[in-house]
Structure 1
Amino acid sequence: MRLHHQQSLLLIVDFQAGLLPVIEGGEAAIEEAAWLAGVAEALQVPVWLTEQYPERLGSTAPALLSALGEQQVWQKRHFCVMEEPEFANALQAQKARQIVICGTEAHICVLQSALGLLEAGYEVFWLSEATASRRKDEARLARERACARGAVAVTADMVAYEWLNRCDTTTFKEVHQRFLKPRSPRDVTFF
């Protein structure tokens, strides 16, 4: 069950300005999601964002938007994005069968979206260090629950190197120079 960039989509859930101040490790999670989104863009992996009730929670955090290239933004009212018919239909029209998911809050919208994706037959990969909640225990329990139902916990490095597949290509060299340089160690634990 390896990831293939031709079959993947990166789904970034609800990193919204109004929510982030209360998210434990939210800034570091955004940094990790933005890093992987850069790799995704270089490999032409679609990047989709969701926003839960943006009139109330604000739009996607500017720090994330400024780091992203081309992306699709979906506004939603359901906690599970698969309950939004427009989103579900658009996803079905994509060639993506492997969904790398991250965002906030892990125990609400990310979890329910991951479960909905699994129910619809997608392979779901839970991007651990880019998924957070107000409380660390809720994020950990959400990951455990999603994985118990069939999701696979991954790190950004795992995803990037599986998407790249080999080291002797021009693409690898370009992506490696641009994104895969050593990153600073994180002092926050993510789940």
Structure 2
Amino acid sequence: MRLVPEQSLLLIVDLQVGLLPVIEGGDQVVTEAAWMGQVASVLDVPVWLTEQYPQGLGTSVPRLLDQLGPHRRWEKHHFDAHAEPAFSRELAESGRRQVVLCGTEAHVCVLQTALGLLEAGYAVHWLAEACASRRADEAQLARQRVMQAGGVAVSADMVAYEWLHRCDDERFRRVHRSLLRGRSARPLRFF
């Protein structure tokens, strides 16, 4: 199924200050998640962040928060964000059935959230370059497991262009220019 902005939600899982220093490729994950969040903001796709036990792991990394537009932050205690009653209720009420998912740790909270969403009938799109763990092999196993369960692996560029759908408006030009400049070189502000 093709991603459409009116049906999509970007869910960024646990990119927290106490966790990121030990994540393999954590810096790149934040860069990609922030860029995807900026694209989502341009296209009116809601951005939700989760924080696993922030009293112990800290809040979301400031660099991510500084680059995002409007977003909703959720504190959670379940590894599966969808197991949090308020989260699952509000997601259902939103009417959004496509979840673009990224974050850490891929083999724990991202995996369990993906499985919970799939079990609840949501289309899960695993943002490949923005899902990571302490060890790359665990992140890879998590991705394989989500694909076997019915999720779809996507890249940030794939998501952006599917959401855009056409090239003849200002939103396309803004997103396309950021791709040409290279998002990993420097974060871009769209708002």
Q: Report the TM-score, using the length of structure 2 for normalisation.
A: 0.94
Residue in 1 that maps onto 2:129: 129
Read off the aligned partner of 2:82 and give its amino acid letter: M
Residue in 2 that maps onto 1:118: 118
Q: Determine if the alignment matches structure 1 residue 181 to structure 2 residue 176.
A: no
Residue in 2 that maps onto 1:14: 14
Q: Give matches, 1:1-191, under 5 Å.
A: 1-177=1-177, 179-183=178-182
- CA deviation after TM superposition for structure 1 residue 184, in Å: 6.2
- Cα distance in structure 2, aligned partners of 1:180 and 1:51: 29
Task: Tell me, yes or no, if the aligned pair for 2:106 and 2:138 is still in contact at 8 Å.
Answer: yes
- CA deviation after TM superposition for structure 1 residue 185, in Å: 7.0
Structure 1 portions without partners, runs of 5+: 187-191
Q: Report the TM-score, using the length of structure 1 for normalisation.
A: 0.94
- CA deviation after TM superposition for structure 1 residue 168, in Å: 1.6
Structure 2 portions without partners, runs of 5+: 186-191
Considering only aligned residues, what root-mean-square deviation do their CA atoms show, in Å?
1.3
Q: What's the secondary structure of 1:29's corresponding residue?
A: helix
- CA deviation after TM superposition for structure 1 residue 95, in Å: 2.2
- Cα distance in structure 1, aligned partners of 2:150 and 2:144: 10
Q: What's the secondary structure of 1:180's corresponding residue?
A: helix
Compare 167-176 and 74-83 and name the one that shifted more: 167-176
